[in-house]
Structures are given as C-alpha cells and as structure tokens.
Homo-oligomer: A and B are copies of this chain.
Amino acid sequence: MKNHQITIKDIARELNISKSTVSRALTGHPSVKSETRKAILELAEQLDYQRNMMSISLITNKSYTIGIVVPEFITSFFPQVVVGAQEEAAKAGYNVLVSQSNDDYATEVANTKVMLANRVDGIMVSISKETRNFDHLKIFQRKGIPIVFFNRVCDEMAVPKVVIDDYDAAYHAVEHLVLSGRKRIAHLAGPEVLAISRKRLNGYIDALKKHQIPVSDDLVIPYDLNLSKVKIYIKHLMGLENPPDALFAVNDPTAIESMRVIKELGLRIPEDIAIVGFGNNYGSDFIEPGLTTVNQPVKEIGKTAMTLLLGLIDKDTAQWRAVTKTLDTELIIRGSTIKQELPQSKR
C-alpha cells in the first residue's frame, strides 16, 4: 500500500465544505466562522493531518531546506557543526539536508547536484581536501541560491565565510612551544590546496621567525591527511641526525596518531618531544598525556554560518555581502607540552 496521507480534500469532503475554507482555517486566516474552524482543526488533529510541504514549496518556490556539505563525519568536528547549524535552522522553520563526501571530490559534486534538485534555499559548505574546481558551487551563486562557507573555505568565491583565525591560532600554538624552550619544531602540515593548511603553516613560520628560530624545510612535511602515513613521517623525523624536540600537527587526529607512533618508538612526551594539535577534538583531553591543542567554538561555527545564510535568503542578491566572520580560538595547554603533576596512577 502506498502511504496514504490525509489531504485538505479529505477534510473538506468529510465536513462537506470547500477546500479553500479548510485551507483558510488551517493557515489561520481570520475569515472563517469560528464554529467551522473548530471542526476543521479538530478533524485535522484527529487524522494527524500534516500539510504537504511539497505543494507549498511548489508555490513559493522555496523548499525550507538548507543543504550542508561536509567532507567527513568521522571526527567530532563536523557532526557538532551540523548540530549547531540545525538548531539555528529549526528556529527559523528550516530543515537541513546533510551530505558528506568522504573527502572525495566526485561525491561532493554529486551531492551538490542533489541539493540543487531538492531546491535547497541555501547551502553551507566546507570543501573536501581534493576540491580545486568550484564550478559545482558557483552554480548556486548563478542561480541566486545563497552559499556560506565555513572551516574549509573557497578563496575564489566572494561569499560569506565563517572561519577561525588559523594563522593566529597556529602562531600562538607554535609560540607556546618556543616559549617552553623548544628549538627544533617540526610541522606535519595539511595539503597545500587547503587555505586552512597554508594559514596554519604561515602562522608556524612567522612564529619561528619572530623568535629568531630558523625555519628548516626538513621539519615541514605537508601531507594529504591520510593518517596511515603519519607513521612514516614521524619515523623519518625522529630518525634525523638532529631530530625535532617539538611537533606542531595540523590537526588533532594527526597529533594523536603521531603520539601513538612516538610512544611506540619508546620516546617520552613531552620530555623528548612536545606535541601540539589543532581542533580540541573529542579524545584530546583523555589521551595521555593530554594534548595541548587549539580549541575552536565548534557549535558556534555552525550557528554563525547558518544565521548568516538565513539572513541571505529572500534578500536581493545585490544586498549580499561577502563578510568573513572570524571566531575566537583558545590554546588549551595540556601535558603534551608541559609536564604536569597529575594526581593519577602511580608509575
């Protein structure tokens, strides 16, 4: 049996009145005799009537749906952003269509097509690490569908963005390493195509320069964020004749995987090498030692991006302004950089 939904027609027939009257009562139009209105509302309630959004979408040319395009759903970051965004959307009566691409470009493109077919009223996107061509996103601009980037943004599109100050956060993270006495600080960086990687790299470089520490190419390794490769890089770094005494990892998963490898090598953290991550992901507080990392206001990112996006809907495109909101970060210092006296298991 096809699913059998109650329609206005059903209610009208049952009550033997016209469809338009039912529609009026249901939409709260005042010009309905209170008696009739009451009967209609009661019957609607009783039959679990739900107005079919499809039809109203057809009329208004709005879907009341926002698309969210994210690269992955493994770490806690994107799910949390989605939660924040969803809360904000719900307040405004919007639904959210989420798609994740497994960091795969082709999937991202396919997903955005789906968003188009579903007539999303706007999209919030964080691009995959493979994305270099933005045609699939520019379509939205051309069609007048607002788009807001967050986290991994697209530099070449003049649309609103929600980011954190990656440069600044990286700068302070690395400075923290310098101030705690480290001289040879390695950086496991992200892919160069991501602006986010480049900014963190620049923060790293400038912090070193500021403190008259030479930037050594040997110590900077950009990689594709495929964690299985971390082991190779760490072994290489620690095998140098002058190995690093600190590591700034482009994100927490990288930092955590690095810690695992370093422990395997029998080295001590932070005595032999200090580690700083980025993201304050789930788990960075209970790994041992705790991971010093940059905290970002995850849910806030989602909320901010959604608020920005909703503000663009129904506005004339001419009024759109490509603001970039930069949210504050905070360096959380834990045991991976500073030896801490923990009241925990005796060794």
Contacts and interface: CB of A to CB of B under 8 A. Distances in A.
Nearest to A144: B3
A27 to B, nearest CB: 14
A33 interface: no
A295 to B, nearest CB: 16
A53 B119 contact: yes
A128 B144 CA distance: 38
Contacts of A4: 143-144
A18 B3 CA distance: 33
Nearest to A268: B345
B256 A50 contact: no
A77 to B, nearest CB: 10
Interface in A63-98: 63, 73-76, 78-80, 82-83, 86, 90, 95-98
A129 interface: no
B95 A97 contact: yes
A142 B53 contact: no
A111 to B, nearest CB: 8
Interface size class on chain A is 35 or more
A232 interface: no
Contacts of A99: 86
B5 A61 contact: yes
B74 A95 contact: no
Contacts of A78: 79
A323 B205 CA distance: 59
A5 B143 contact: yes
A343 interface: yes
Interface string A263-304: 110111100000000000011001110000000000000000
A344 B264 contact: yes
Given A50-B117, A53-B119, 14 more contacts: A1-B144, A48-B139, A50-B116, A53-B117, A53-B118, A74-B76, A74-B80, A75-B282, A86-B99, A97-B97, A268-B345, A269-B345, A283-B286, A287-B288
25 contacts: A2-B314, A4-B143, A5-B61, A48-B116, A48-B139, A48-B143, A53-B118, A54-B54, A54-B57, A54-B58, A73-B80, A73-B83, A76-B76, A82-B98, A83-B100, A83-B102, A86-B99, A90-B110, A95-B97, A260-B286, A266-B346, A267-B345, A282-B282, A286-B287, A347-B347
